[in-house]
C-alpha cells in the first residue's frame, strides 16, 4: 500500500463533498467547484469530516493509483478553500504583457504580439507590464496555463531576456567574447 494513500484528507468547514459510484468526486467550496472521476483500482469513502482513498486490488498499478488519487483529492480540497497562484516575470527591453478582455497579450521581441485566450475558471492579472499573476482553484489548469505562457519565450541564459516564474533562477552564461583577451 502507498504511504501517501493511507493518509486521510481532512474536509474543512465550508466545503461540501459529493461522491458518486465510489469513483466520481465533486468538491464545492468558497473558491469554486471541482469534479473529477478516478480509476477503478481505487475507491473514495467519506468518514465524517475526512475522505479516505481505498486500494481495491493488490497490484503495482493499483498501488500507484492509490497515492496519486489521494494527492489529487487533497489538491481539490486545497483548491476550493485556498486556491492556487503562479506568478510570471517578463524581462527585456520592450517586453510586456497586457490584458484585453479574456485574452492575454504578450510582446516578447517577435514581429507580432502573441495572444493567449484565458481558460474559463482562471483569473489573470497584470499588476504592471512586467508581471503576470495566474490564479484559480484547479492546480493543473493554473500550472498548465502558466507553462504555456512561459513557453512563448523562455528566459535565455546569456542576457536573461524572456519569461520566467517568480523566484526561478536562470543560470547565466558568459558570452564568447568574454573569454578572449
Confidence (pTM)? 0.90
Q: What is the DSSP string of 129-155?
A: TTEEEEEES-HHHHHHHHHHHHHHSBP
Instruction: Kindly list the structural domains of the chain, giving each domain's residue range(s) and its CATH number in brackets, ordered by start.
Output: 3-81 (3.90.930.12), 84-165 (3.90.930.12)
178 pLDDT higher than 70: no
- In sequence order, what are the beta bridge partners of 165? 88
pLDDT for residue 181 is more than 70: no
125-161 per-position pLDDT tens digit? 999 999 999 999 999 999 999 999 999 999 999 998 9
Residue linked to cell 483500482: 41
DSSP string, 1-69: --HHHHSPEE--TT-EEEEETTTEEEEEETTEEEEEE--TTEEEEEETTEEEEEE-S-SHHHHHHHHHH
Report phi then psi at 160, rounded to 5.
Answer: 80, 15
Which grid cell sits at 16?
A: 461540501
DSSP state of 179: H
Amino acid at each position: 500500500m502507498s504511504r501517501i494513500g493511507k493518509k486521510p484528507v481532512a474536509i474543512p468547514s465550508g466545503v461540501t463533498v459529493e461522491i458518486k459510484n465510489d469513483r466520481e468526486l465533486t468538491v464545492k467550496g468558497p473558491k469554486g467547484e471541482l469534479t473529477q472521476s478516478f480509476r477503478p483500482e481505487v475507491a473514495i469513502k467519506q468518514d465524517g469530516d475526512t475522505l479516505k482513498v481505498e486500494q481495491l486490488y493488490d497490484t503495482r498499478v493499483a498501488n500507484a493509483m492509490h497515492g496519486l488519487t489521494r494527492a489529487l483529492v487533497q489538491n481539490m480540497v486545497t483548491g476550493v478553500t485556498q486556491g492556487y497562484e503562479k506568478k510570471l516575470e517578463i524581462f527585456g527591453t520592450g517586453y510586456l504583457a497586457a490584458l484585453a478582455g479574456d485574452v492575454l497579450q504578450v510582446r516578447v521581441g517577435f514581429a507580432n504580439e502573441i495572444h493567449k485566450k484565458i481558460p474559463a475558471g482562471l483569473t489573470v492579472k497584470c499588476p504592471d507590464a512586467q508581471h503576470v499573476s495566474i490564479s484559480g482553484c484547479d492546480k493543473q489548469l493554473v500550472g498548465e496555463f502558466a507553462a504555456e505562457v512561459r513557453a512563448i519565450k523562455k528566459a535565455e541564459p546569456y542576457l536573461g531576456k524572456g519569461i520566467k516564474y517568480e523566484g526561478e533562477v536562470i543560470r547565466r552564461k558568459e558570452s564568447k567574447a568574454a573569454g578572449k583577451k
